[in-house]
Amino acid sequence: MKTLAASTAISTSKFLTGFTAIVLGLTIVLGLGFLQDANNTLHNAVHDGRHSAAFPCH
């Protein structure tokens, strides 16, 4: 029987490459979806996009 560890074993460099891509992806998505700025400039720019993607907006 294959164990979970054996079936998903990948090299360190491959792990880090994918991990970096995921951190970058999450930073972009969560930044655009969640950041609130004091004078609402960012919020007003992305407002329609957030509402259309089911992000809590305001």
Partner 1 sequence: MADFRKLVAISLLAGILAGLLLSVLQHYQTLPLILAAEQFETPSAEHVHDWQPMDGWQRNGFTWLFNGLTGFGFALLISASMYWRDQRDYLPGLGWGLAGYLVFFVAPSLGLPPELPGTDSAELHSRQAWWLFTAASTAMGLFGLVLTKQRGLQIGGACLLALPQLVGAPHPEVAHALAPEALQQHFVLLTAMNNAIFWLALGALSGRLLRKVTFQ
Using CB under 8 A, list all residues that contact partner 1. Answer: 2, 4, 7-8, 10, 14-15, 17-22, 24-30, 32-34, 36, 39-41, 44-58
Q: Contact 37/43 with Cβ under 8 angstroms?
A: yes
**Binds 35, which of partner 1, Zn ion, none (CB < 5 to 8 A, cut-off by type)?**
none
Cα distance between residue 49 and residue 20, in whole Å = 26
Least distance in Å: CB of 25 to Zn ion? 23
Cα–Cα distance for residue pair 58/46, rounded to 1 Å: 11
- The footprint of Zn ion on residues 1-58 (CB under 5 A) is 47, 57-58
